Chains A and B, each alone.
Chain A
Amino acid sequence: DQQVKQNSPSLSVQEGRISILNCDYTNSMFDYFLWYKKYPAEGPTFLISISSIKDKNEDGRFTVFLNKSAKHLSLHIVPSQPGDSAVYFCAVPHHDKVIFGPGTSLSVIP
């Protein structure tokens, strides 16, 4: 059973608009969340994180929002740029491991 879910396998957004990528999790004990970004032919790279003591974390064009009661988080990219086109993984460190969601492929159209 998937503990970290990303229900949208793909998303297309016009350049300059906002991209919103969603992630849901099942375990209310999870208290730290990560977003990774992956370009083709490269490994995933860490993008941004959020701790459960916060409901928002911002880094430049990237903001992650956490709704603990709904067990939901989202990554907002604004404004979206063509270079943001990649696969985005939501991930949760759990014990010594990291549990990854299945990823959402974002295409930013010029």
Chain B
Amino acid sequence: DAGVIQSPRHEVTEMGQEVTLRCKPISGHNSLFWYRQTMMRGLELLIYFNNNVPIDDSGMPEDRFSAKMPNASFSTLKIQPSEPRDSAVYFCASSRLEETQYFGPGTRLLVL
């Protein structure tokens, strides 16, 4: 199994631009999670999906952030417009319901 796949691995963009992060979960997993890791706040859960349905988006920092899961094998996290304080590593993780989460390698985002 290829594990959780995230793309791009690195993204550098300018303030105000739209950023789209992509995730392919492990086949057969029905839960998908988006996390953000920063030095100040550690690993924060942004949003998670069960069976492609968003369950809890209370961690999404503001309306500039949105996430979709159009099917069981793909999810996106979009930031529009991006700001320098969005610079962080964004992780996607997947699991079978209530089982151990498997993390992707992360996308390192830098907003200038």
A residues at B contact (CB < 8 Å):
34, 36, 41-46, 49, 89, 93, 96-103
| Residues in B lying within 8 Å of A, measured CB to CB | 4, 31, 33, 42-43, 45, 48, 50, 55-56, 91, 93, 97-98, 100-106, 108
> A98: nearest residue on chain B (CB-CB)?
B101
- Residues on the B chain within 8 Å of A45, using CB: 102-103
Do the beta carbons of B56 and A96 come within 8 Å of each other?
A: yes
A45–B101 CA distance with the chains assembled, in angstroms: 8
Tell me the interface secondary structure of chain B in the complex.
strand
- A102, B42: Cβ atoms under 8 Å? yes
- Let me know if A44 and B43 touch, CB within 8 A: yes
Which 7 A-B pairs have CB atoms at the shortest separation, nearest pair first? A43-B103, A102-B42, A100-B43, A46-B100, A44-B103, A43-B104, A43-B91
A34 (CB) vs chain B CBs: closest residue: B100
